[in-house]
């Protein structure tokens, strides 16, 4: 066994001491960690003390319990080990029953070394594969989570839960980057088809001459380059769900064939006369106004009404800005973990600026920004000075959040602080240059920085307020290199 790999833990449950001894010699020599028990009570105790055990070799006859009953009991645990049954008086009926109850294999005594090792290796390899698949699935589920507590998102979730158990066709509409794919995946994952394929097709990304072949498949020789038969996306999604993203970009010719699948459940490969029956749930999405597309003759009216059985509207991020801190926190967790960074966070001031930005690219734009800042920012807390310039250039940036402002004095101070931060950022944190640009003495600007707790990271350290005996027009001898110049 590779020493770099985790050592597997095995439990042998058998009332014959000689069998336990021989199996200990065989298994420990192969590098496995060995546990043993002579009866059902001892086996339960070992499993209770060592829930990390991966595999149990279990005798079918024990002095205090029936092996098959213990097998059934172990398999009901939340994360049960795999089990190989062993017996000196095995029958085909016993083997069948053990398999039904979840046993990986059934070995007859006398046990042979190579047969035991082969069965153990196969069981552990299958376990490792299952664990890997589960890990991938968990990461995928985490990646495709829908985050939001705004009433619009709560309402959307309620609609998803209602329609998911049905077979209804769904049309998801929303701006680019709002998360239409996440909605489609959520519908699939909550439906009876969750165990089957979820097949995604980006209709805008496939050339017009290839989209029919991509959707419906083709026969060998159907066109130049068709060197072998290929199944289409609808066939691959049979029993599951197909997600037709950007369906508003599909040609009229292809639209007619999609309509046939929706109405008849039939597809026909390019170059074939054979009709293939498919059972597919269709979820479509678009960021286009399909009613406008219909009026202009770009989208079939009959297909629109066939798709629009259950319409869902995904709100743009600017309409649910209260969710931005939740989304930022979620993306921070995901990308810090992915890059093996200590968990990073955004300061309240940075989040406030981000909540005022219109996010034309919606959640996708926000996600990409957070990922970039997580990677490029060395500090654990990302502040306003780390944000890109375009976030600071909105016309309403300097206006405080009026819902939390109580007095006129608070309003003036908050607006002044935002204005100073913006100008410092624009001047690359050069205090002298900023003071000249906003027409205030440098010493006064330093006082403002101190008042608002603004510290400027620069080559030699942090900018500090000048001493009281400095003249307003002079440069402090200690400020060179500290004000960003």
Q: In 416-456, which ranges are E strands? A: none
How far apart, in whole angstroms, are the C-alpha atoms of residue 118 and residue 412?
77
Residue 376: inside a domain: yes
CB 150 within 8 A of CB 173: no
With 0.75 as the threshold, say if the pTM is over it: no
- CB within 8 A of 112, min separation 6: which ones? none
Residue 87: inside a domain: yes
Same structural domain, 111 and 17? yes
Domain that holds residue 289: 151-315
Residue 19: inside a domain: yes
Same structural domain, 193 and 261? yes
Could you give the number of structural domains in the chain?
A: 3
| Nearest CA among 231, 185, 23 for reference residue 113 | 23
Residue 426: inside a domain: no
Same structural domain, 340 and 311? no
Residue 27: inside a domain: yes
Same structural domain, 119 and 175? no
Residue 464: inside a domain: no
Concatenated DSSP letters of 40-57:
HHHHHHHHHH-TT--EEE
Same structural domain, 31 and 92? yes
CB 211 within 8 A of CB 203: yes
Same structural domain, 159 and 113? no
Residue 466: inside a domain: no
CB 323 within 8 A of CB 149: yes
How far apart, in whole angstroms, are the C-alpha atoms of residue 220 and residue 164?
37
Concatenated DSSP letters of 401-413:
-GGG--SHHHHHH
Residue 24: inside a domain: yes
Same structural domain, 306 and 323? no
How far apart, in whole angstroms, are the C-alpha atoms of residue 373 and residue 33?
45
Same structural domain, 297 and 355? no
Domain CATH for 160: 3.40.50.300
Q: Residue 1 corresponds to which tokens in the numbers above? A: 């066994």
Same structural domain, 342 and 238? no
Domain CATH for 346: 1.10.8.60
**What string of pLDDT tens digits covers the 485 residues of the chain?**
443 457 899 999 999 999 999 999 999 999 999 999 999 999 999 999 999 999 999 999 899 999 999 999 999 888 899 999 998 876 778 888 888 999 999 998 889 999 999 999 999 999 988 887 776 666 655 566 888 999 999 999 999 999 999 999 999 999 999 999 999 999 999 999 998 999 999 998 888 878 888 898 888 877 777 778 888 899 999 999 999 999 999 989 889 989 988 998 988 888 888 888 999 999 999 999 999 999 999 999 999 999 999 999 999 999 999 999 999 999 999 888 888 888 999 999 899 889 988 899 999 999 999 999 999 998 889 998 899 888 876 544 555 666 667 788 888 888 888 888 878 877 878 888 899 989 999 889 999 898 888 877 543 333 443 444 333 443 443 343 344 43
Same structural domain, 171 and 226? yes
Domain CATH for 128: 3.40.50.2300
């Amino acid at each position: 066994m590779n020493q770099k790999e985790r050592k597997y833990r095995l439990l042998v449950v058998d009332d014959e001491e000689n069998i336990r001894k021989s199996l200990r010699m065989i298994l420990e020599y192969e590098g496995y960690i060995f546990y043993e028990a002579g009866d059902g009570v001892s086996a339960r105790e070992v499993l209770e003390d060592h829930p990390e055990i991966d595999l149990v070799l279990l005798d079918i006859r024990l002095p205090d319990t029936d092996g098959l009953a213990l097998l059934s009991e172990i398999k009901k645990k939340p994360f049960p080990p795999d089990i190989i049954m062993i017996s000196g008086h095995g029958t085909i009926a016993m083997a069948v029953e053990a398999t039904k109850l979840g046993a990986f294999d059934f070995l007859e005594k006398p046990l042979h070394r190579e047969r035991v090792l082969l069965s153990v290796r196969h069981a552990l390899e299958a376990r490792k594969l299952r664990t890997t698949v589960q890990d991938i699935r968990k990461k995928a589920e985490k990646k495709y989570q829908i985050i939001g507590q705004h009433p619009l998102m709560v309402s959307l979730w309620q609609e998803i839960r209602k329609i998911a158990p049905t077979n209804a066709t769904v049309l998801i509409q929303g701006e680019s980057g709002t998360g239409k794919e996440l909605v489609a995946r959520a519908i699939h994952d909550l439906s009876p088809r969750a165990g089957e394929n979820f097949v995604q097709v980006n209709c805008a990304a496939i050339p017009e001459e290839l989209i029919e072949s991509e959707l419906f498949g083709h026969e060998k020789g159907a066109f130049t380059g068709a060197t072998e038969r290929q199944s289409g996306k609808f066939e691959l999604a049979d029993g599951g769900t197909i997600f037709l993203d950007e369906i508003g970009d599909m040609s009229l010719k292809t639209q007619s064939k999609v309509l046939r699948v929706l109405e008849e459940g039939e597809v026909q490969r390019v170059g074939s006369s054979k009709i293939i029956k498919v059972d597919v749930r269709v979820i479509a999405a678009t960021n286009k106004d399909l009613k406008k597309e219909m009026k202009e003759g770009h989208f079939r009216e009959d297909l629109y009404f066939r798709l629009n059985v259950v319409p869902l509207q995904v709100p743009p991020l600017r309409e649910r800005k209260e969710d931005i801190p939740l989304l930022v926190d979620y993306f921070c967790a995901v990308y810090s973990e992915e890059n093996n960074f200590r968990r990073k966070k955004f300061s309240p001031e940075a989040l406030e600026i981000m909540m005022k930005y219109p996010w034309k690219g919606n959640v996708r734009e926000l996600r990409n920004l957070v990922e970039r800042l997580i990677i490029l920012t060395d500090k654990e807390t990302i502040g306003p000075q780390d944000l890109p310039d375009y976030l600071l250039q909105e016309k309403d940036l300097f206006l405080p959040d009026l819902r939390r402002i109580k007095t006129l004095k608070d309003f003036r101070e908050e607006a002044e602080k935002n204005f100073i931060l913006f100008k410092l950022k624009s001047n690359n944190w050069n205090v002298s240059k900023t003071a000249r640009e906003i027409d205030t003495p440098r010493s006064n600007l330093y006082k403002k920085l101190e008042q608002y707790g603004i510290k400027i990271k620069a080559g030699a350290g942090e900018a500090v307020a000048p001493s009281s005996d400095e003249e307003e027009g002079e440069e402090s001898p200690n400020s060179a290199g500290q004000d960003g110049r």
